[in-house]
Copies of this chain bind each other. A is one copy, B any other.
Amino acid sequence: MKVVVGVSNRHVHLNNDDYKLLFGDIPLTKRNDLTQPNTFASELTVTITGSKRSIENVRVLGPNRSYTQVEISRTDAYTLGVNPPVRNSGDLDGAGEITITGPVGSITRNAAIIASRHIHVDKSIRREHNLEGVDIVSVKIGGEKGGIIDNVYLKETEEAYFELHLDTDDANAHLINQGDEVEIII
Interface of chain A, helix or strand or loop or mixed? mixed
Across the interface, do B175 and A173 meet the contact criterion of CB distance under 8 Å? no
Copies of the protein in its oligomer: 2
* Chain B CB within 10 Å, residue with most, of A116, A144, A169: A169
- Interface positions of A from 129 to 186, Cβ below 8 Å from B: 138, 144-151, 167-170, 172-175
Cβ of A145 and Cβ of B170 under 8 Å apart?
yes
Q: Count residues of A near B (Cβ-Cβ below 8 Å).
A: 25
Residues in B whose Cβ lies below 8 Å from that of A175: 74, 86
Check: A38 CB closer than 8 A to any chain B CB: no
Closest chain-B Cβ to A172's Cβ sits at a distance in Å of 4
- List 25 A-B pairs, Cβ < 8 Å: A74-B173, A74-B175, A75-B75, A75-B168, A75-B169, A75-B172, A78-B172, A86-B144, A86-B145, A86-B175, A114-B145, A116-B144, A117-B145, A138-B147, A144-B151, A145-B149, A145-B151, A145-B170, A147-B147, A147-B148, A147-B150, A169-B172, A170-B173, A173-B173, A173-B174
